[in-house]
Structure 1
């Protein structure tokens, strides 16, 4: 290798390229792996990125941390296999194909054929592999691209089947009907942690609506507050808090009588006396909050007369007039007041309107109070595109967010609108389509994460994190509030659920391997994607008259696949049994802060469910590298300069020191001595 030349003409980029050429010439990385092969294993899990775009600085930062730790372990007496991986399935790939082919609806895919669609998806998955290898290698990182793993490979997918089958046999899987975050842009349900990936501050309507009480001597009405007017057509009950005080108040000027929580009286409108309204300037007839000379809001009792005060528990079972008649068939059980502790008095009126198809608590409350039955085929009056179905006749075909204004107009026309306005709040958007999420009841397959909560928290305490507060605060809190995980998606490009069901639903067979499917079906299986196995049937074990079992349509959430990575990338338990069982949990993982709700979480859930252990022992979590506008760097938004341009101009080492100097912060240095001992 040439000597380093010092002076004003010294070029970091050129010197780095000489070093890289020398490493390639002597096969430095390969030689290191060969020479350390007999040494104790140090297991490093490299999280698979989506291969639908080029790497940004966040990937390079995490990769640098990974490289530092794995190099150190190699130098201190360990064999460290470093295989790069690719997340090949899911919405990122399907979205690209949808844009390319102009696909707008699920029916478009069915029309062109799932086989053609999936092969289109397969064709673009490795499009950027060469570019990734070029960028990562240029940063000086030693990582094995030749023996990379892909979540679309047969061996990987087979292990995913095995993981699911283990959970199913443990009684940790169920099919249910659950209200989940739903992307109308991607036409699919999202997991709760996906829903938390993209929040924005946006304006939304807020309205107060009157629900007249049937048989009330004062013709009073319950006053409910909502920020989702589009859910009002599906209202089935009102919910109060049994322990709160509620008051019935009479407006002295309008004669209207409302029931609200006593502590929320200040939220209801104070209307001007009719004489004042008559003398007001044209158009000045809106509800106002008059001010006294002291600047304080005029005493509510100057406008309202207190008629009655009761506990919320005394309102339970009172019936009210429905706002719309779309669900009049539920009249025997619905349109009444129930009580639940989720209702608070920190906002609104202390009375919550419940639409069970569009709210998690709404659904739970309606089940618990027998408004609807758990096994019942709940009517979800919004289709996969987020538009009202024919059930909602007046707004059929209208996108729900667009329907807000029309529904408010309808409520006003019925004389039920008490107050309207708008407010800005933090609202979840789809992390891929960037469309607002809604909550929608969907049939899905779930993992019973809530049942594992205590063990998850215990396993988290056994791991070592840098920085430790991410583990003890952010990740602990996320686990503490974990909910059952919807692991299925009604999509096409993914690992199919290995579930075959009989026509009568009485017989279920779950495949844990390709061999089992071949044995039961008699078919030869070379690929596990939908278009290669959906046609395969299994004879019923009960006899010919019961027909055959067919596979369910769903595929796995891609997070389930990446969470299975510690087993699937080595094709466990079909291969490498001794390697896995001797070295599990893995020694080290590292990714960005956003993975506390993503990969770190799914790793922990699946390993806890399978083995009762965490999947990793040590973890380094770096902060997010933001773009110039303060937003997260995103391949989709393309809001950052090309890393290769910066590296070519200034060199990889210089770029790392300037851009990622915080990874050498005092906090990290203070942790480092302890970290090295534990790693």
Structure 2
């Protein structure tokens, strides 16, 4: 028997040194070092200079702690935006930044003090601020290296920091713009206050947690009323904050609420409560008297009956008797009660008027609300409208003043008001109320949502203190510069363009801004529409000072442009220390006496810092590649009440429009089971560790594959799936590199001269091109990545590459079909490497350098040109459906090992299912089978072939006499090779 020839050395198998195993954790740092060495960011700026700009303004992460997975997602999204805009030919610079002032840093430095048994208040303020600055710089440097490792391309050597002197000077200048335009006032209002941190908090610094509180019903005896029946009765209030009773100054009723005067037992006084809430009131009393037998007690007190009797007003009578009186809340006008502790005299002896409050509802309680203007917004506004002022009796640590009449600071009464023991049924407030017979019920079972400081996690209170505010509704405060707004005013025929309130300007700016996703507009709009005046002041040390001098006689702040200029210059020279007392006289200058002025020592809300970044980053000229306004702000959805809003208000107050054209928001990253990540639960994912194990490109692929507009998940199994996805993409590039070895322009074929399959694939590439362009415009990166992955997996690897591997391996190098295939592969390579580069930044560079070693970076390239190619895609889609049916029919024979590959299968397909224009030979090539015939049935029929197998291409063909011989095509190719 003659030994068959081994054709291995005649087959053109792909050859490449590009490894299948990625080894990203080891390779990526070297690629990153090369980018730094060649100055990639600067090269890109030079390459795009003069092009249309796209400016994404980086929202400053806080300089406190390592990068977490939320940081990673956020910055990958930003990097994707910048890179895709640059890829499409725009000049898209990226300047990273950090928020460096504020309580969290101050809190950490204080913690270090406490460990050393040092008292912050005994340390000179300048020294303390220096330690805060050093602490912030440490974390800026740490996070910078972590973000660079993630492959984020930006001006890392020249970031912006809110604590840079120039930044601090600009923040002060922005504050003084508000002062100069009259958009600043000092007022006493209840603000959210943290007794633990001893400072006011912004809404963005508060989170809500479910808690269980004490709820009490308290009786206030009515002493005056235009309604005789009410005198001697008791108005009942319900509250979950017993600690506020010591500063009660009034009661509020709903003008449209139906009230009833009831007597629950023969011995009890008459109680005034809302009709709809009598049953809840009775139930609370019953539970308070006897929790075990509350139903029996309720019956004795007078519960509802199923078949009640209605009186003349349509109100159901109580069990056993009719209500003593029923009336509308509006009839309570002029009614006066007295505080339960009136016997103490002084403050408590003053009458407590019943006042109309539109905010009073019958959702819960008694329909009557006690008013403590020191500790509630509605309380403050209603009381102020009736000439009742707050008393400021709770100190910054949440304890009552030592001299307060009712609750002097004895040992048992010196607790903070947020202490549950202070509010307990046996606590000081409830105990005293019980002694005078005013506490009708008290229980510790009321579950509700309550605000907490997101830093200390402690409950906050509403506390009335003197603070500095920016008014939201000051008429004629803002000059709106939007051209459409100008046209609108002109069209209305106004002689002079009217100014807006800050709220109106902000709402107009929201309407003019693009939001992605669109629901962001309603979210921030509802927040701005209902938000209170902006509280700017904080009672801390580390931050930008509120640089105002207040006249001690008039109470007005000094508004002198020359003084303001010296203030800004002092901060520019000395940083925040430039507001210290040592500089005050020089700043005021010779025209003013320092003794006549109070130098404000509060610091600014850090949201004003970050809200001013557009001024010192986009406008200052320190980064000339940037411009104002930004094209995009991109942060998590919580920033609708944070950075997006503070930037909006700051810019609208000083420039009349938003500092951004579009706002993109992403959801939060949850654990793989959908739960919120928590160190205590042990379900956090550290991106730094993920990079050590998998590489940064895996994090990037995950971040750009999820639907970031909603909350999304990450975990070991999810990352494993991302790793599989990555390997398929990597193998696509590995195949292209191997298949294109030695390719040159001399081999190139015009699309018009290509086989139909190649033209079809080019037409699919054109579809991908259009989809990706739209995805970039829509910031739809989930679609971007999915389109790329599906094209590589389904259209290329499982279809085009699979079909054409025979031509690549076995056709002669000069064969037109093989040349056409390699031409398309080269087109695919140049398109796919560019499209993948913003996603897999390290891998794309590795692939590019593997094909073009020593060349410039792949990230300097622009969007590929995809050649136009015509193909009947509907016809090809039908053919692919049939091909899928054929593969499904072959699979059982493969599993049974009746055939080892589709090349060994003879297939009969339904003739009606074959699209027009495909011959049987075409089908054999496209289905990769031995033969294809057409039958009249509906099924695909498969059987093993008896045809001999070519020893070179492994196809089973009639012309092959024996297994191992060469087919005619292969014989010709081999002869040509031998002749060459």
Structure-2-length-normalised TM-score: 0.61
1:500 aligned to which of 529, 536, 549: 549
More relative contact order, 1 or 2 (CA 8 Å, 6+ apart): 1
Alignment of 1:83-482 (within 5 A): 83-102=95-114, 108-195=119-206, 198-214=207-223, 219-269=232-282, 288-290=297-299, 301-302=318-319, 305-325=322-342, 328-330=345-347, 334-372=351-389, 378-390=390-402, 391-394=404-407, 396=409, 397-402=414-419, 403-405=422-424, 406=427, 407-421=429-443, 422-450=445-473, 451-471=501-521, 473-482=522-531
Q: What is the CA–CA distance in structure 1 between the aligned matches of 2:30 and 2:589, rounded to whole Å?
A: 66
Task: Give the equivalent residue in structure 2 for 1:47.
Answer: 59
Q: Give me the CA root mean square deviation.
A: 3.7
Determine if contact 1:203/1:425 at 8 Å carries over to the other structure.
yes
- Output the CA distance in 1 between the equivalents of 2:284 and 2:145: 69
Structure 2 Cα separation of the partners of residues 60 and 239 of structure 1: 50
**Preserved CA contact (<8 Å) 1:98 1:104:** no
User: Mind listing any 5+ residue stretches in structure 1 that lack a counterpart?
Assistant: 373-377
1:348-397 per-position Cα deviation (integer Å, ceiling 9, x unaligned)? 1110000110011101111111223xxxxx32211111111121543522
Structure with the largest fraction of helix = 2
Indicate the structure (1 or 2) with the bigger Cα radius of gyration. 2
Superposition deviation, residue 116 in structure 1 = 2.0
- Give the secondary-structure state (helix, strand or coil) at the position aligned to 1:535: helix
> 1:568 maps to what in 2?
616
The aligned counterpart of 1:536 is: 583
What does residue range 516-527 of structure 1 map to in structure 2 within 5 Å? 516-517=565-566, 526-527=573-574
Match of 1:375 in 2: none
Q: 1:81 aligns with which of 53, 78, 93?
A: 93
Q: TM-score, with normalisation over the residues of structure 1? A: 0.87
Change (3 A) 1:426 1:412: same
Shift of 1:482: 2.1
Closer, same or farther in 2 for the Cα pair 1:327/1:636, shift >3 Å?
Answer: farther
Determine the structure 2 residue equivalent to 1:12. Answer: 24
Q: Report whether the alignment pairs 1:484 with 2:543.
A: no
| Aligned partner (choices 590, 593, 599) of residue 551 of structure 1 | 599
- Is the 1:253–1:303 contact (alpha carbons within 8 Å) kept by the matching residues of 2? no
| Shift in Å, 1:660 | 5.6
Structure 2 CA distance for partners of 1:446 and 1:627, relative to 1, 3 Å = farther
Distance 1:310 1:61, change over 3 A: same
Q: Aligned with 1:536: secondary structure?
A: helix
Provide the rounded CA distance (Å) in 1 between the counterparts of 2:617 and 2:594. Answer: 39
Contact 1:525–1:533 (CA under 8 A) maintained in structure 2 = no
Structure 2 distance, partners of 1:367, 1:322, is 19
Q: Cα gap change, 1:16/1:209 in structure 2, threshold over 3 Å: closer, same or farther?
A: same
Q: Secondary structure at the match of 1:401?
A: coil
Task: Note the alpha carbon deviations across 1:473-525, whole angstroms, 9 max, x for none.
Answer: 312211221221001111111011121123324563357799822799xx897
Q: CA deviation at 1:251?
A: 1.7
Q: Structure 1 residue 456: deviation in Å?
A: 1.4
Task: Report Cα offsets for 1:414-465 as digits up to 9, x if no partner.
Answer: 2112222221111110011110011000111111124322221221121112
The 3-state SS of whatever aligns with 2:632 is strand
* CA–CA distance in structure 2, aligned partners of residues 465 and 283 of structure 1: 55
Q: Which one has a larger percent strand, Structure 1 or Structure 2?
A: 1
Q: How far did 1:298 drift?
A: 9.2
CA distance in 2, matches of 1:618, 1:206: 46
Uncovered stretches (5+) of structure 2, i.e. residues with no partner: 1-14, 309-316, 474-500, 713-767, 780-980
The count of corresponding residues between Structure 1 and Structure 2 is 654
CA 1:163–1:80 in structure 2 vs 1: closer, same or farther (change >3 Å)?
same
Q: Distance in 1 between matches of 2:285 and 2:565?
A: 76
Q: 1:513–1:16: structure 2 CA closer, same or farther, 3 Å change rule?
A: farther
- Once residues 487 and 109 of structure 1 are traced to their aligned partners in structure 2, the CA distance between those partners, rounded to angstroms, is 23
